[in-house]
Structure 1
Amino acid sequence: ENNLQETETIVLTSSEKFLWAFTVSIYTVGGMIGSFSTGICVKKFGRKGALLASNSLSIVGAILMGTSKAANSLEMIIIARFLLGIFAGLATGIVPLYLGEISPKRIRGGLGVVNQLSITIGILCAQLLSLKEALGTAELWPVLLAFTGVPSVIQLCVLPFLPESPRCLLIDKDREDLARKALIFFRPTPDVGDEIREMREEARAESATEQQTVIMVIKDKTVRWQLLSVVFIQFTQQLCGINAIFFYLNTIFEAAGVAGDAQNYASVGVGTVNVFMTVISVLLMDRLGRKLLLAGGYAVAGLFCIIMTIALNLQDQISWISNLSIACVIGFIIGFAVGPGPVPWILTAELFRQSSRPAASAIGCGVNWTFNFALALVFPFMQDGMGPYVFIFFLFICVIATAYVIIIIPETKGKTFQEINGLFAKRNNVKLSDVEMEESTRHIVREQ
């Protein structure tokens, strides 16, 4: 589409605009369905099994999109995007869950960021492949769309050789023998006794609790503030403005005065910065902690929302101001990539115990995808109505997110799931069990 617009002006009718918007937004509708289905799939298939099964959606979607041009069928693309949305919604819930449960607690944050790093690398690869020098041509676009099935094929070849989550095996299935083998596979040492004991203690604390559904987690007063926190950080991750920037990056560059030919390459530059800063986040997550990176990231993003508003207001008066607008986009990406990008997914997996974790993950991911969909629909109208002041809305979100993280969210770096649960006990007005009291006492001793 971008290449065609370089040579001719395309005028769409109202029905064509609606069809285009529907084709774009159906992906996020699938994402909402997939994310809310996370708990059901994990309960039925386990972490590993759910990931393996979900790849069928991606591969079918890739085949449909790759053959849509030959079939001259837009309907095939719409169905494919819907299936890919379900796949992506499931993946955003299951992958952080699996990574969080197989990771040693001392590097759980860094490994959790690897999930977000893979997403940013995927975005950058898509941007590079969509250039007209690669697959972004009238002849090759079906190959570009079908390329989405390649990572799924790779995962189907690799994942069967990896064990199921040790916590799932021991706590959910009561298979300590398999859990021990899985831990030895994932650890550089066969000495996994301490982790087995920790999981046994969590299993004892969970012994009287059944695997919770979404409704049960919503009603459970003992996880009220954990759930509120996850919903809030997933909500603010979407409404802080990051997807508005990525969805309409070329539009923002055009409003900033960037030449049409340079917009796609500028987008690639932004994607590169996103990948680089996410790598930095991997290195910092278990050193500086989740809370500092999350609050600091929102604060940095909010600062650049202010500067972006000023730059967009002055772009007609000052010729070089378009360069400042690009710098603001990059600055916003830096703030987002080090904290608000990866941390919500890590905390969604960390703030809950085994029985409520899958359902809580489904809720958090569902909120994320719901507001992803809402923002994709509303942002063009916000842009038309608010003009250069549209980033003031995102500034407001960044400010309240920063305040909430500082006041409410505890630091979870280096803590067991039991210890993290204990951090919310007072706020939830619940009494810790004897097992949790023992765990908290041991943590205090270790800290001293």
Structure 2
Amino acid sequence: MKNNLKELTQYWRLYLLTLVLGVGGTLQYGIQVSIMTSPAEHIQSFVNQTWLGRYEVPVGESTNTLLWSFIVSTSSLGGLVGAIHCGSLSVKYGRKTSLQINNVVAILAAVMMVLSRMAKSFEMILLGRFLFGYNSGLGINLHLMYLGESCPKRMRGFLTLTSSIFLSLGKLLGQVIGIKELMGTEDMWPYLLAVSGLPAILQFLSLLWFPEAPRYLYIDKGDEDGCKKALQWLWQEDEVNLKLELEDMRQERQSAEGEKAKTMLDVLRSRCVRWQLLALLIPCSGLQFCGINAIYFYAFDIFRESGVPDDKMHYLSLGIGATEVITVTTCAFMIDRAGRKRLLGFGYLLMGVMMSVLIVMLTIKDLYSWMPYLNIALLFSVICVYGLGPSGASMCLSADLFLQAWRPSAFAVGGIVNWAGLFLIGMLFPYIVAGMGQFCFLIFVGYCIFTSAFMLYFIPETKGKTSMEITEDFNKLNFKNSGTEPEKGTGMFATKL
């Protein structure tokens, strides 16, 4: 108890950094994800009125649908571009400065949203959504990179997973402020779309008081004194207790001495990070292909069949958001005990099993009057498992799996896969549901089972290990049955296998 209290008071600056990064990063993205549902009819009405004012004819139904699809999906395209720029920006300008540049993008997007109605321009909404997407695609990766490079290894899992907590909290907050009693009205919708600019302003100003990421200072810039000062300020440790952390950084710097920061092409082609890349991409893809979007889609149908009035659906969806917040928060306290491997592996397995049962229940839902209520229980159970495992633990992987030279580009690759998956699901999912109905879950069940088997049987655990120790474990997979030495920069402790 005394140790926990000491840790809580000692690392208060690190926790404050976590709060600043979370509010201006994943919480902001979570708000953007969830606020588009409430003002949808008001935005479409604005598009119709603007079109009529310009061309003196009402907008066609197909054109209106196309414009709305672009407004919704352009955020994913922006996120994809932001993820691509993550690697180069974070290496050139550092984690902190890149985040502040990114905040300016979000503030600019918010200004466009507020002025769109005044300027009678739905194109400003499109551009604002793209910029907010860019801000999220870049900001989430920078958030995880900065935090992962600033915290002790024993706290790395817990602190990086807070990004999932803020993401879930942002979704819930977006749902709350979007209700018609608050900002989900015809008068307030431009301000609702722009509300994400407030966390960006807060983060921009707050980061002025924080140092650059210590590992970036030492390993990338060679600034040992700056790294020590940053660690002492964040951790409030004396120089003796920082020796182990500095020694780990020194070994990693020596192993990559003379090596330039790796490109995305290097990450994709190099054998020395092949298994790390698979361990990152398969679970990250699973965030989009695990079926959670199908669960949210079917939630309203299941609620309606249970007798919930349409005007109360939005309030019940708040319960789904609250469930995700609670379970992801629980995951944060479990991850450094249970480990990433178990939470991901068994999480995907349970999701696959539960969705298989849900398929059967949705097929025979008309046999008994109580079945819709059982489907609601199954729906909430899947969301609980998603929050306890895949949603939370996946956030730790990029910070865990790669050494400093590879990390920025690895984040970029992971971000590209995630945003591209989100865009594909957004475009194709309605057609999949229309063609397959509840049997669309079979696709997601297959992916969940595959991801579970991959994580449990092939990937080593990373909890409580240094970057060099993790790299040594993966070198046993990357160079298995090979007579070649690991490449320089992949871990100086790796031996010939």
TM-score category (smaller protein): over 0.9
1:185-231 CA-partner distances (Å, limit 9, x unpaired): 12142231111111111111110321111112222111111112212
Q: How does 1:320-339 map to 2 (within 5 A)?
A: 320-339=370-389
How far did residue 317 of structure 1 move? 3.2
Comparing 230-239 with 408-417, greater Cα deviation is found at 230-239
Give the residue type in structure 2 aligned to 1:203: R
Equivalenced residues, count: 439
1:148 aligns with 2:202: no
Match of 2:319 in 1: 269
Match for 1:259 among 309, 330, 340?
A: 309
Q: Distance in 1 between matches of 2:332 and 2:157?
A: 8
Q: Distance in 2 between matches of 1:371 and 1:4?
A: 23
- Worse-matched range after superposition: 64-73 or 409-418: 64-73
| CA shift for structure 1 position 20 | 1.0
Matches within 5 A, 1:191-202: 191-202=241-252
Is 2:154–2:464's contact at 8 Å kept on the other side of the alignment?
A: yes
Map of 1:287 onto structure 2: 337
In structure 2, C-alpha distance between the alignment counterparts of 1:113 and 1:248, rounded to whole Å: 28
> Match for residue 111 of structure 2?
63
Q: What's the offset of the Cα at 1:440?
A: 7.7
Give 1:178's match in structure 2, choosing from 208, 219, 226: 226
Q: CA deviation at 1:144?
A: 1.1
Per the TM alignment, residue 45 of structure 1 is displaced from its structure 2 partner at its CA by 1.0
Provide closer, same or farther for how the CA distance between residues 2 and 128 of structure 1 changes in structure 2, counting only shifts above 3 A: closer
Look up the match of 1:446.
none
The 1-side partners of 2:344 and 2:364 are apart by 31
TM-score normalized by structure 2? 0.83
Question: Which residue of 15, 37, 61 corresponds with 1:13?
Answer: 61
- Say if 2:87 and 2:412, in contact at 8 Å, map to a contact too: yes
* Cα separation, 1, equivalents of 2:446 and 2:296: 19
In structure 2, list runs of 5 or more residues that go unmatched.
Answer: 1-36, 42-47, 49-58
Shift of 1:245: 3.6
Letter of the 1:102 partner, please give it: S
Structure 1: which 5+ runs fail to align? 442-448
CA distance in 1, matches of 2:289, 2:266: 27
Q: Is the 8 A contact 1:256 1:312 kept in 2?
A: no
2:467 maps to which residue?
A: 417
1:110 aligns with 2:158: yes
1:373-422 per-position Cα deviation (integer Å, ceiling 9, x unaligned) = 00011111111111121212111111111001011221000000011011
- The CA distance in 2 between the partners of 1:99 and 1:437, in whole Å, is 22
- Structure 2 residue identity aligned to 1:404: F
The question of 1:385 aligning with 2:435 is answered: yes
Distance 2:38 2:265 in 1: 45
Question: Offset of 1:433 from its aligned partner?
Answer: 8.3
Percentage of identical aligned residues: 36
How far apart are 1:73 and its partner, in Å? 1.8
Match of 2:72 in 1: 24
Matched with 1:48 is: 96
Shift of 1:254: 4.4
Contact 1:280 1:338 in 2 (8 A): yes
Question: Who is 2:359 aligned against?
Answer: 309
Deviations 1:16-66 (A, max 9, x none): 111111111100011111111110110111111111110111111111112
**Which residue number corresponds to residue 77 of structure 1?**
125
Distance 1:62 1:85 in 2: 12
1:121 paired to 2:166? no
Q: Structure 1 4/254 Cα, relative in aligned 2: closer, same or farther at 3 Å?
A: farther
Could you tell me how far apart the structure 1 residues matched to 2:248 and 2:256 are? 12
Cα distance in 1 for partners of 2:380, 2:38 equals: 22
In the alignment, is the contact (CA less than 8 A) between 1:419 and 1:436 conserved in 2? Answer: no
How many angstroms apart in 2 are the aligned matches of 1:412 and 1:58?
A: 34
Partner Cα separation in structure 2 for residue 152 and residue 2 of structure 1: 22
Question: Cα–Cα, structure 1 residues 311 and 164, in superposed 2: closer, same or farther, change >3 Å?
Answer: same
Partner of 1:344: 394
Structure 2 CA distance for aligned equivalents of residues 58 and 3 of structure 1: 20
Q: Indicate how the Cα distance of structure 1 residues 427 and 312 shifts in structure 2: closer, same or farther if over 3 A, else same.
A: same
The reply to whether residue 319 of structure 1 matches residue 376 of structure 2 is no
Residue 290 of structure 2 is aligned to residue 240 of structure 1: yes
Asked whether the equivalents of residues 252 and 491 of structure 2 are also in contact (C-alpha less than 8 Å), the reply is: no
Q: Does 1:213 find its partner at 2:263?
A: yes
CA distance in 1, matches of 2:377, 2:308: 12
2:34 aligned partner: none
